[in-house]
Structure 1
Amino acid sequence: MKLGAVHVIRKTLLFSLCLLMLPLVTSCVGKIEIDELALVMAVGLDKGEKEGAMKVTVQVARPADSRGQTGAPSGQTGDPIWSASAEGDTIFEAIRNLATFSSRRVFWAHNYAIVINEDLARETGISDIIDFFTRNPQLRMRTWVVVTPDKASEVISTMTGLEVVPGEAIDKLFRYTKISVQAPRTQMLDLQSAYLSHETQPILSRVRLQSRGVSNKKEGQAGSYKQVELAGAGFFKGDKLTGIIQPEEVPGLLPFIETVETGVIAVNCPKNPSKKMSLELRSQSFDLRPSIKNNLPAFEATVDIFVSVVEAGCPFSLKDRQEVKDLEEEVADITRGQMEFVFKKAQEEKTDFLHLGKVLNNKYPMEWKSMKDDWENILPSVKMKINITVHINESSLLYNPTKSGN
């Protein structure tokens, strides 16, 4: 090969290599620095002052002040969050109106929770809320969605005792709600799925403000500042809030809509009803089987519950099989009563937030097609049989009753 041809090949290869390297040395086109963004941690939605208007409140983190220090850095206020509200005829217009006084661009990717006022959900509905937040490419579908009887703007702005950022506090409430069993765990993905479905109706977790904490500055004064607490659930018909499940009723709701992993059941002592015992739910299985008789659907629920005695306010021995049997029957009666209460509430309100239509459709798709358009009128006539079996695990260290040595 001639020397000139070799030089041509080398130059061609070098030029090609330079072209390949160009994308690696270009600057970030269209980049936005983090200090130019308003990182939304939670958003609250209320009715606006003007008829038909929407009030949007955002809770924005101040990263430089979110470290929990008592003194603020130079140029900072020391407040870990900044809350701002704006109104508009639509959610998007209200958010754009925030730009009239916010020096940063609203960024949704870190949002923990969407809090909806109950009056807004009951009177206006939540269809626009679902539409906007599911179209937003920044928002995660795993964002928690809740309703509240309080002003949503106040809920997301309330500083809690443990977490620096209130939005993060709401997030952790739901991460550990399995322990308290006071509310279901509802995310935007669940809400959208239920709203678009012909088989079920939406149900959302509920939170409220309650004077719970004790301030370090007011020792011994209970309820010296407000906390956000779990407060049951709100169920819908279409996009309108229809009714409320109170916190004490939630144990009867959860088996129908999610896996129950733990819980606390307080019962009367078998031989001394004036005393109480506490049992911890260790595991629970739930099976719901549909059937159709005389063109009318019916359901049979089978629940297996495994519990352990964690506190006995009276002498109790696991060796006494009759006492154990009586205790198991009482737990079964309590659980059955809770589930029947929630089922009757769904029938009375003619709204299927228990996913019964979905279960029926899975087994009887042809029959469901003829029922789905009139399901809300069929639901009150549906029969439900609940079979519950309780097992007390013999895992307690105190197998014999606790009693004084005197």
Structure 2
Amino acid sequence: MRRLVCLLLAFLPLLLLTSSCYGLRQINELAIVTAVGLDVGKEPDSVKLSVQIIRPADARGQTGAPSGGTGEPIYSVSAEGKSIFEAIRNLGHFTSRRVYWAHNFLIVMHESYARRGIGDMIDFFTRNHELRMNTWVTVTPDSPSEVISTITGLEVVPGEAVDRLFRNVQIVGLAPASNMMNLEEAYLSRSVEPVVAQVRLVTRGISNKRPEQHGSIKQVDLEGAAAFVNDKMVGWLSPKETKGLMFFLQKLKSGIEVIPCPNNQNKIVTMEFKDIDFKVKPSYSDKLPSFHIRLMIKADVVENNCGAPMTDLREETEEALEAKLNSEIQSVLTKAQQQYHSDFLKLGDVFRNKFPMEWKQLGSKWGAAFSEAQTTVEIKTTIKSTVLKAAEQGVK
């Protein structure tokens, strides 16, 4: 008996070594997806799935193809099915490798697909154990298959290029950072509606090989957003409305505003703000919610084309900046409350946290209560430019 036990202990390390290779996948056997496009298929209620597959041998940034390669860093292919999973299986008819999702950066949905409803997309991709929940999600008015296959900017892989655009969103402030995690959270919430960033193709840039073809290169532009009610898209938010939206959704690190000069409306002054204090205070009276929105900003003058010292224009410039920011916030409030009747501003979360008992009565009909809620906006700006300080000290 002791000899049998000793033999088993001796063979145990060998069993562990061999079992550790179980389920091993070689990289040359996988179709590594970096971007996905979803569109309405040709058949009724069908879905068209497009995937951007990386070519590891050709995605190293060379201007020419490596030995045995094609020179193209990505391979894009599409298939249709009654569901997303069936469309993926149909890719196997002409894709020689197994689709692998763990390195996917981006999901791009066409506007028509988003208006039809994205519940199936959320269900499938949140169930998929290979997909990361920080995968970016966008809506486009253009063809998703073209968006995910357009090599843009400085990156070789289009999906990675859009990923880097999203990482700068807190600085640029022109689109919400919408990923699968916050999309699912808003979809399942009773107090918040989803809002998803917009991407589109724009013609800009100059070809290195043909400089005379100015503006002939298509690039992916991340700007604006799509508003939803439940899982259906109800409309777009303009860049101006999206700038107002960003104060509600994210802690912005920076931003810029360009306004006409107080002394000359034909010239402009550009300001950058970094110190941003944004607060929403809810109230409840006569069975109706209300919100007081307060924004405090300190800004630097980074470009003054007014032809006069900012010390002479400070008060008027601050008032003009306040009016510009107020217009952006009011525009997104109007779009959310009066046109779309969709609380993608997360005001429901703010109200629920302050008034949990009242929320029990309003929660089931929050859409109507949100549309009738009174909102007031208070904005205070302070110009704190170092150039201005130096000028003031010089005057003294």
Provide the residue aligned with 1:45 in structure 2.
Answer: 38
Provide the residue aligned with 1:4 in structure 2.
Answer: none
CA contact (8 A) 1:318 1:394 kept: no
One-letter amino acid of the counterpart of residue 102, structure 2: A
Provide the residue aligned with 2:122 in structure 1.
Answer: 130
* Distance (Å, rounded) in 1 between the aligned partners of 2:189 and 2:161: 31
Q: CA deviation at 1:70?
A: 2.5
For residues 81-130 of structure 1, give each alpha carbon's deviation from its aligned partner in whole angstroms, at most 9, with x where no partner exists. 000000000000000000111110000000000000001111x2100000
1:25 and 2:17 aligned: yes
Q: Which runs of 5+ in 1 are unaligned?
A: 1-7, 402-406
* Distance (Å, rounded) in 1 between the aligned partners of 2:285 and 2:22: 66
One-letter amino acid of the counterpart of residue 338, structure 1: E
Q: CA deviation at 1:249?
A: 2.3
One-letter amino acid of the counterpart of residue 376, structure 2: K
1:249 and 2:241 aligned: yes
Residue 170 of structure 1: SS of its match in structure 2?
helix
Q: CA deviation at 1:248?
A: 2.7
1:288 to 280, 283, 306: 280
State the Cα RMSD in Å: 1.9
Q: Scaled by the length of structure 2, what TM-score is found?
A: 0.94
Residue 222 of structure 2: SS of its match in structure 1?
strand
1:388 to 375, 379, 383: 379
* Distance (Å, rounded) in 1 between the aligned partners of 2:359 and 2:185: 18
Provide the residue aligned with 1:88 in structure 2.
Answer: 81
1:179 and 2:171 aligned: yes
Provide the residue aligned with 2:232 in structure 1.
Answer: 240
Residue 93 of structure 1: SS of its match in structure 2?
helix
* Distance (Å, rounded) in 2 between the aligned partners of 1:13 and 1:376: 69
Cα pair distance change 1:283/1:220, threshold 3 Å: farther
1:229 to 199, 221, 224: 221
CA contact (8 A) 1:260 1:283 kept: no
Q: CA deviation at 1:18?
A: 2.1
Q: Which runs of 5+ in 2 are unaligned?
A: none
CA contact (8 A) 2:299 2:385 kept: no
One-letter amino acid of the counterpart of residue 342, structure 2: T
2:185 to 189, 193, 209: 193
* Distance (Å, rounded) in 1 between the aligned partners of 2:108 and 2:74: 17
Taking every aligned residue pair, what percent have the same amino acid on both sides?
47
State the 4+ residue runs in structure 1 displaced beyond 6 angstroms.
none
Provide the residue aligned with 2:267 in structure 1.
Answer: 275
* Distance (Å, rounded) in 1 between the aligned partners of 2:43 and 2:250: 39
* Distance (Å, rounded) in 2 between the aligned partners of 1:398 and 1:316: 15
One-letter amino acid of the counterpart of residue 366, structure 2: W
> How many residues matched?
390
Q: CA deviation at 1:31?
A: 1.4
* Distance (Å, rounded) in 2 between the aligned partners of 1:328 and 1:319: 11
Provide the residue aligned with 1:54 in structure 2.
Answer: 47
Whose Rg is larger?
1
